[in-house]
C-alpha cells in the first residue's frame, strides 16, 4: 500500500508595496508532510494531495510561480483583477475543488472564461456575485457540486442555469442559497434526477415560481423549498392554498411537514397541503382517526409519519384505508383498549403493509389495553411484530399493569368452564317441566273454551270410562 501522506503546498502572499493591493504570488518552496486528514475532508488520503491556498491578496497579472497542478485551490479574501486568465491560476484546468471565498471580482465577466468541465467541486461563496455566471462548460462536464451560497445573485438566466444543470451530467448539488433570487427561470427537469437544487434563503416570490412546485420532477430537486412569511409579502408558496396552515405550522424540510400538535383539534384536519408526508396531531382531543370526508382521503395518501399520541383515541380502525402507507404511527398515550381482528389482519398482511412492517415504527404504549378475550388478536400482533413496536415494554394491561405480551393467553381468555353441578341440573329440569305444564294448561283452557272439546287427556280417560260402562252393561 502506498504511504499515505499529504504534501501541503503553502502558498503565501508577499507584501508588494509597489501595487495598491498586495499581489498574490505562489511559492512552492515550503513543502510539508502533514497528517492524513488535516484540513481536507474530500482528499483521497492514499495519494499525494496538493493544496494551493491563497489568501488576503490581489490576483492580477502577472502571476508568478504557480504550480502546474493542484488538487485543491482555495482562494480566500482575494481580489480578482479584470484581466486575470484562469489558466494562470489553474494551469491544468483540472482540480478536485476550486473554492473562492469572501473574495471580490472587479469584473464578474471573467468567470465566463472559467472552464469548469474538470473541476469536481466549484464553490464561489460570499463573493458578491450579482448574476449566476455563464461558465464555460461542454457536455463532457464532470462537475459534481456547484455552490454559490451567500452571494448577491439576483439574476439567474436560463442559459447560466442550463450550462451547469444540463451540461454537467454528474451534478449532484447546485447550491444557490442566501442570494437575492426573486424569480427562478423555468427549466425542463431532465434526467439528472439526482441533482439537488438548493434555494433556501432567497426572497423567491410566491407567484412567480409556481413551476418550481407544480412540476413533480422539479419539486423533487428542491431541497427545503424557501419559506415565505405570513406577512403577505411572501407566503410559503407550497402552502399558499392550504387553509390548515393558518392554524397549524407547515414547513418543508425535504419532506412536507404539518404540525398540528396542541391545536385543540377534535378530528383529523382536512385541507392538508399537497403531498404532506409528516402529520403531527399529538396532544389534541381526537377520539378516532377518521378522516373528515371522503373527498379529503387523497390528502392522506402521502402521509408516512403520523403522530397521534396524547389524544383520547379509542379506535384507529377508521384510518385503515391508509394505514399501510405509513412508516411511523404513534398512538401512544391514547385510550386504546384493543385492536380488532380485521385491523390486525390488515397490519399483518405482508403483501400490503410492506413499509410499516419492514422499516416502520409503531408506538402503542401507555394505552389502557383491556386484557380480556378481545385482546387476543392484538397480542398475536405484538408477538409477530415486536421489532417494529418501539415502545413494546410500555404496552401494558390497563388494570394489572402487566406487559400485554407476557400475559398468558389462557389467563387473557380462559376456556369455557363446564362442570356439571347436580343441583343446577335439577333446577334446570324442574324449570323446563314447570314451563311445559303451564303451557299445556293454558293451551287446553283455550281449546276447551273455543271448541268445547275436552283436552285429549280427558278424552282418553272419558273413552276408557265409557268402554268400561259398556263392558259393565254387558
Ligand atoms: C522560499 O522562497 C523565497 C522567495 O524566493 C525565499 O526568500 C526563501 O528563502 C525560500 N525558502 C526556502 C526554505 O527555500
Ligand atoms: C483581506 O485582505 C486585505 C488585503 O488584501 C486585508 O487588508 C483584509 O484585512 C483582509 N480581510 C480579512 C477579513 O482577512
Ligand atoms: C472554453 O474552454 C476551452 C478549454 O479551455 C477553450 O478551448 C474554449 O475556447 C473556451 N470557450 C470559450 C467560449 O471561452
Ligand atoms: C455551500 O456552501 C455553504 C457555505 O460554506 C455550505 O454551508 C453548504 O453546505 C454548501 N452547500 C453544499 C450543497 O455543499
Ligand atoms: C431520459 O430517460 C429516458 C427514459 O429513462 C430516456 O428514454 C431518455 O433518452 C433520457 N433522456 C436523456 C436526455 O438522457
Ligand atoms: C409542533 O408544534 C408544537 C406546538 O407549537 C411544538 O411544541 C413542537 O415542538 C412542534 N414540533 C416540531 C417537530 O416542530
Ligand atoms: C409525537 O408527539 C409527542 C408529543 O408532541 C412527542 O413527545 C413524541 O416524541 C412524538 N413521537 C414521535 C415518534 O416523534
Ligand atoms: C393481503 O393484501 C392483498 C392486497 O391488498 C390481498 O390481495 C390479499 O388477499 C391480502 N391477504 C390476506 C391474507 O388478507
pLDDT of residue 131: 96
Long-range contacts, 115-118 (Cβ 8 Å, 24+): 115/86, 116/141, 116/143, 116/146, 116/164, 116/168, 117/93, 117/141, 117/142, 117/143, 118/93, 118/94, 118/142
Nearest atom within ligand 3 for CA of residue 93: 5
Provide the β-strand partners of residue 251.
257
Cα 222 to averaged position of ligand 4 atoms, centre (Å) = 15
pLDDT of residue 212: 73
This prediction's pTM: 0.51
C-beta of 330 in contact with ligand 7 (< 6 A): yes
Please name the residue ranges forming H helices in 291-421: 320-323, 341-347, 354-358, 376-384, 409-412
Nearest residue to 273 (alpha-carbon basis) of 310, 308, 235: 235
Cα 351 to averaged position of ligand 8 atoms, centre (Å) = 6
Nearest atom within ligand 3 for CA of residue 136: 1
Which protein residues are within 6 Å of ligand 2, measured from CB?
21-22, 56-58, 77
Please name the residue ranges forming H helices in 103-237: 158-167, 210-214, 216-221
- Return per-residue pLDDT of the chain as tens, 474 residues: 333 334 444 444 333 433 345 677 654 333 332 322 233 333 333 345 677 777 788 887 766 556 667 788 888 888 998 888 888 777 778 889 999 999 999 999 999 999 999 999 999 999 999 999 999 999 999 999 999 999 999 999 999 998 998 899 889 889 998 899 888 888 776 655 577 788 877 877 767 777 776 666 666 666 555 544 444 333 445 666 678 888 888 877 667 889 999 999 999 999 898 788 999 999 999 999 998 887 888 889 899 999 999 999 999 988 888 888 899 999 999 999 988 888 888 888 888 887 777 778 899 999 999 888 888 888 888 888 888 888 988 999 887 778 888 888 777 777 766 667 788 888 989 999 999 999 988 888 888 888 877 766 655 565 666 666 656 655
- What are the respective helix, strand and coil percentages of the chain, to the nearest 5? 30, 20, 55
Query: How far apart (Å, rounded) are the C-alpha atoms in residues 311 and 282?
Result: 7
C-beta of 282 in contact with ligand 7 (< 6 A): yes
Cα 22 to averaged position of ligand 2 atoms, centre (Å) = 10
pLDDT of residue 425: 84
Nearest atom within ligand 6 for CA of residue 262: 4
Cα 353 to averaged position of ligand 7 atoms, centre (Å) = 22
Query: How far apart (Å, rounded) are the C-alpha atoms in residues 300 and 319?
Result: 10
- Strand pairing report for 328-330 and 119-125: unpaired
Give the Cβ contact number of residue 223 at 10 Å: 17
Cα 362 to averaged position of ligand 7 atoms, centre (Å) = 12
Contact 236, 200 (CB under 8 A): no
Contact 308, 331 (CB under 8 A): yes
Q: Report the nearest-CA residue for atom 2 of ligand 1.
A: 29
Cα 41 to averaged position of ligand 4 atoms, centre (Å) = 14
Amino acid at each position: 500500500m502506498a504511504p499515505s501522506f499529504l504534501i501541503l503546498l503553502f502558498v503565501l502572499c508577499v507584501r508588494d508595496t509597489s501595487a495598491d493591493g498586495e499581489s498574490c504570488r505562489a511559492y512552492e518552496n515550503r513543502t510539508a508532510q502533514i497528517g492524513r486528514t488535516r484540513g481536507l475532508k474530500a482528499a483521497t488520503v492514499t495519494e499525494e494531495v496538493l493544496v494551493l491556498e491563497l489568501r488576503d491578496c490581489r490576483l492580477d497579472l502577472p502571476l508568478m510561480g504557480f504550480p502546474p497542478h493542484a488538487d485543491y485551490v482555495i482562494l480566500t479574501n482575494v481580489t480578482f483583477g479584470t484581466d486575470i486568465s484562469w489558466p494562470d491560476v489553474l494551469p491544468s484546468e483540472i482540480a478536485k475543488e476550486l473554492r473562492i471565498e469572501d473574495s471580490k471580482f472587479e469584473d464578474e465577466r471573467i468567470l465566463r472564461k472559467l472552464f469548469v468541465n474538470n473541476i469536481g467541486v466549484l464553490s464561489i461563496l460570499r463573493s458578491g456575485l450579482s448574476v449566476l455566471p455563464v461558465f464555460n462548460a461542454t457536455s463532457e462536464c464532470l462537475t459534481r457540486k456547484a455552490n454559490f451560497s451567500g452571494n448577491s445573485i439576483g439574476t439567474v438566466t436560463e442559459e447560466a442555469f442550463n450550462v451547469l444543470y444540463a451540461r454537467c451530467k454528474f451534478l449532484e448539488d447546485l447550491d444557490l442559497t442566501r442570494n437575492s433570487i426573486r424569480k427562478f427561470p423555468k427549466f425542463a427537469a431532465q434526467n439528472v434526477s439526482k441533482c439537488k437544487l438548493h434555494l433556501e434563503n432567497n426572497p423567491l416570490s410566491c407567484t412567480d415560481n409556481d413551476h418550481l412546485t407544480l412540476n413533480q420532477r422539479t419539486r423533487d430537486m428542491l431541497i427545503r423549498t424557501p419559506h415565505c412569511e405570513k406577512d403577505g409579502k411572501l407566503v410559503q408558496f407550497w402552502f399558499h392554498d392550504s387553509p390548515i396552515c393558518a392554524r397549524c405550522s407547515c414547513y418543508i424540510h425535504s419532506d412536507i411537514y404539518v404540525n398540528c400538535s396542541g391545536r385543540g383539534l377534535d378530528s383529523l384536519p382536512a385541507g392538508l397541503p399537497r403531498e404532506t408526508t409528516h402529520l403531527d396531531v399529538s396532544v389534541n382531543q381526537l377520539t378516532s382517526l377518521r378522516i373528515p370526508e371522503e373527498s379529503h382521503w387523497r390528502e392522506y395518501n402521502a402521509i408516512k409519519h403520523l403522530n397521534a399520541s396524547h389524544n383520547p383515541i379509542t379506535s384507529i380502525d377508521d384510518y385503515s384505508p391508509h394505514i399501510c402507507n405509513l412508516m411511523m404511527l404513534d398512538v401512544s398515550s391514547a385510550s386504546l383498549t384493543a385492536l380488532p381482528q380485521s385491523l390486525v389482519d390488515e397490519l399483518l398482511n405482508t403483501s400490503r403493509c410492506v413499509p410499516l412492517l419492514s422499516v416502520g415504527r409503531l408506538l402503542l404504549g401507555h394505552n389502557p389495553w383491556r386484557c380480556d378475550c378481545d385482546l387476543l388478536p392484538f397480542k398475536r400482533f405484538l408477538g409477530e411484530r415486536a421489532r417494529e413496536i418501539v415502545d413494546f415494554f410500555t404496552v401494558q394491561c390497563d388494570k394489572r399493569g402487566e406487559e400485554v405480551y407476557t400475559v398468558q393467553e389462557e389467563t387473557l381468555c380462559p376456556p369455557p368452564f363446564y362442570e356439571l353441578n347436580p343441583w343446577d341440573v335439577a333446577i334446570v329440569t324442574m324449570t323446563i317441566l314447570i314451563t311445559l305444564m303451564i303451557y299445556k294448561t293454558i293451551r287446553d283452557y283455550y281449546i276447551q273454551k273455543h271448541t268445547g272439546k275436552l283436552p285429549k287427556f280427558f278424552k282418553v280417560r272419558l273413552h276408557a270410562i265409557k268402554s268400561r260402562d259398556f263392558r259393565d252393561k254387558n
